[in-house]
Structure 1
Amino acid sequence: MTRNSDNPFRSRRRLVLGAVASASTAMLPGLVAAQSSAWPNRPIRMVVGFPAGGVTDVAARVVAQPMGDRLGQPVVIDNKPGAAGNIAADLVAKAVPDGYTILLGTNASHGSNPSLYRNVPFDPIRDFEPIGMLATITNVLVVHPSVPANTVAELIALMKAKPGHFNYASAAVGSAGHLIGEMFRMRTGVDIVHVAYKGAAPMQVDLLAGRVQLSFATLQTVLRDVGSGQLRALAVTSPQRIPQIPNAPTLSETVLPGFTADAWFALFAPAKTPADIITQLNSAAAQAVAIPDVRERLQSQGFAIATSTPDELRRFVVSEVPRWAEVVKASGARAE
């Protein structure tokens, strides 16, 4: 029997296959360009790292249809919840960079998670092509009516008079409410106790009952309770006052100049997605949120429209990651 290494026909076959593989590799840039020029010719998947019905999912569903209308193909929502958006972000980071899989990223996946989780399987900057910002939503510093403070300055004075007496609630360890509370503690020097819950719903129950005194909760979570007087809004974390609670000052207006910490929502594609596809996605997203009906639907849910170019979003993420890393380190928070 002739060994494989001595068989001339097998050797020739290997040479032919090698030549074909080399030719195919050389043709890849042309194939990508051809696919790019025909894009999109099938539905686009928008991956969301949180469950249906949540604030991130709401933003995705409001924007997806008008984006699809402008692109000529439907944009389909694919919820992949888990690890505060890490599962969805990792899926998109490893997807084929052809424009058919995009991510609705947040201040978690592209801000705090790289520091909060020990083994994040993606790099929020290197593994993605930014498409553009869509919207932000503010957090609100709310207190139970039993707390004798009507301003942030009064609240800080109370906390300093009674170190360790006041506690603040968040929906989870490492959540935005937790980390904003830590920013507040670092800036003011107060001694307050963090109480973490397993979700916004049980947190809200205890907050309304007065078992915890305050929270840095999302606007969507507390807007109704602020309107009914069951909670008192002392300030918002956005750079400007918001129309939903016009009498609540920004934290930056109070005794904490420069204090801002909005949740944000932006689109990302896998790294190496062709630039012309990124441009089309950015244009479709910006046009979608400019539609009066879409703006109204987002604003009714507490969102503020905030669009950007891909380069602006990249620079923003580059600044967000170290900002939240400092807060995570100071808080000692870890999520698994």
Structure 2
Amino acid sequence: MRTKIRMLVAAALAAGIAVAALAQPAAEKYPRQPIRMVVTFPPGGSSDAVVRMLLPRLNESLGQPVIVDNRPGAGGNIGTSVIAKAPPDGYTMGVVAAGALSANSSLYAQMPFDVQKDLRPVSMLASIPFVLVGNPAVPAKTLKDLIARAKVHPGQLSVAHGGNGTAMHLSIALFSQMAGVKLVEVPYKGSGPAALDAIGGQVDLAMVDLPSALQQIRAGKLTAYAVTTPKRLSQLPEVPTMSEAGVPGYDSTGWFGVVAPAATPTGAVARMNVALTEALSDPVVQANIRNLGVEPTPGSPEELASFITSETAKWAKVIKQSNIKID
């Protein structure tokens, strides 16, 4: 009898283990419901456009719909705060640009979140090159000529940018510091209006993102002095980098990545990273993104975390030296 009981117990235990083993993958499966992707800029912008290009591939890979939720405002702080305060269950993530992840902590006296404590990096998404352009009537035709003219006539050349505290604003600050020039900065609400006023002659120069100026440069309506990236751009191979053109070591690139609430499970972060990497590696998707003037740049969570740390330190120095503050 005891032997029979032991056999029954052993069989029951074995069955229980088998059931548990079968049930475990289902319990750990992610995702099991739609995922909200908060985009910290309005519809139509570069980050929003890139995300929407990725949606078909993401939906297919994840087996659940990814739903875009645009939450713009305060240099990305509003949307990023929504992400930071969301339940850390893997079903809210967000696309956040360089400002909110690296510069805003030095620009704003008070922040509604702490990047290091409240957010978990998921993946780098894309980078956006900037280009320093000018009205063709400006006498200087090269960056070295422009710098020389600015030094002879300090405070006379005006330069537009996409708004106070934006990456374009900080790119101008970095340029002025490294080149040793003083320019009259004119903030605009976005790159598009800044580029248009440079074409119209209301300002001499503009620091804008590539999508806002590419066609006007090609049409000869704007002079392109230099791109802000370490390497030349495939879209403008004839335009030198800042480093090549007279400001050695200059590097300023707009970028955005995907982050999640800090306590989001590792499995969810890893799964989303794989889905994003696969989508960004698709040749058709890459071509569509590059047509926007944006470069797909997938990467691991660890790479994004390291990049955020280095960018935060870099821009903190620039902001302090230029005494830039946002109320």
Match of 2:323?
A: 332
Contact map agreement 2:39 2:72 (CA 8 A) in 1: yes
Number of matched residues?
304
- Confirm whether residue 102 of structure 1 aligns to residue 102 of structure 2: no
The TM-score with structure 2 as length reference comes to: 0.89
Partner of 1:258: 249
Structure 2 unaligned runs (5+)?
1-23
The AA in structure 1 aligned to 2:48 is: D
Which whole-Å CA distance do the structure 1 matches of 2:128 and 2:146 have between them?
A: 24
Task: Please state how far the C-alpha of 1:202 moved relative to its aligned partner.
Answer: 3.2
Match of 2:135 in 1: 144
2:68 is equivalent to residue 51 of structure 1: no
Q: Which residue of structure 2 aligns with residue 313 of structure 1? A: 304
Shifted more, 171-180 versus 77-86: the winner is 171-180
* Normalised TM-score (structure 1): 0.87
Distance 1:130 1:234 in 2: 35
Report how far residue 224 of structure 1 moved: 1.1
Do residues 269 (structure 1) and 260 (structure 2) align?
yes
Check 1:311–1:67 CA distance in 2 against 1; reply closer, same or farther (3 A cut): same
- Residue pairs, 1:175-214, within 5 angstroms: 175-214=166-205
User: 1-side partners of 2:299 and 2:85: how far apart?
Assistant: 24
Q: Is the 8 A contact 2:134 2:205 kept in 1?
A: yes
CA distances 1:40-72 after superposition (whole Å, capped 9, x unpaired): 111111101111001121122112331121111
**Matched letter for residue 223 of structure 1:** L
SS of match in other structure, 1:302: coil
Q: CA deviation at 1:112?
A: 1.2
Equivalent positions of 1:18-37 (< 5 A) are 37=28
Cα shift at 1:34: 8.6
Mapping of 1:4-15 within 5 angstroms?
Answer: none
Aligned partners of 2:84 and 2:119 also within 8 Å: yes
1:161 aligns with 2:152: yes
Q: Which amino acid aligns with 2:268?
A: I
Residues 144-169 of structure 1 show CA distances to partners (whole Å, capped at 9, x for unaligned) of 10112222111101111111110110
1:36 shift after superposition: 7.0
Computed over aligned residues only, the root mean square deviation of the Cα atoms, in angstroms, reads 1.5
String of CA shifts for 1:111-137, please: whole Å, max 9, x gaps.
111111221111112211111111101
CA contact (8 A) 1:125 1:317 kept: no
Structure 2 distance, partners of 1:116, 1:305, is 27
Give the secondary structure class of the aligned counterpart of 1:333: coil
Q: 3-state DSSP class of the match of 1:153?
A: helix
Superposition deviation, residue 83 in structure 1: 0.5
Aligned residue for 1:125, secondary structure, equals helix
Contact 2:161 2:186 survives alignment (8 Å)? yes
The match for 1:12 is: none
1:156–1:36 distance in 2 versus 1, CA, 3 Å:
farther
Residue 284 of structure 2 aligns with an amino acid whose one-letter code is D
Counterparts of 1:239 and 1:278, CA distance in 2: 30
Residue identity in the other structure for 2:168 = G
In structure 2, the residue matched to 1:239 is 230
Once residues 137 and 197 of structure 1 are traced to their aligned partners in structure 2, the CA distance between those partners, rounded to angstroms, is: 18
Q: Which amino acid aligns with 1:240?
A: K
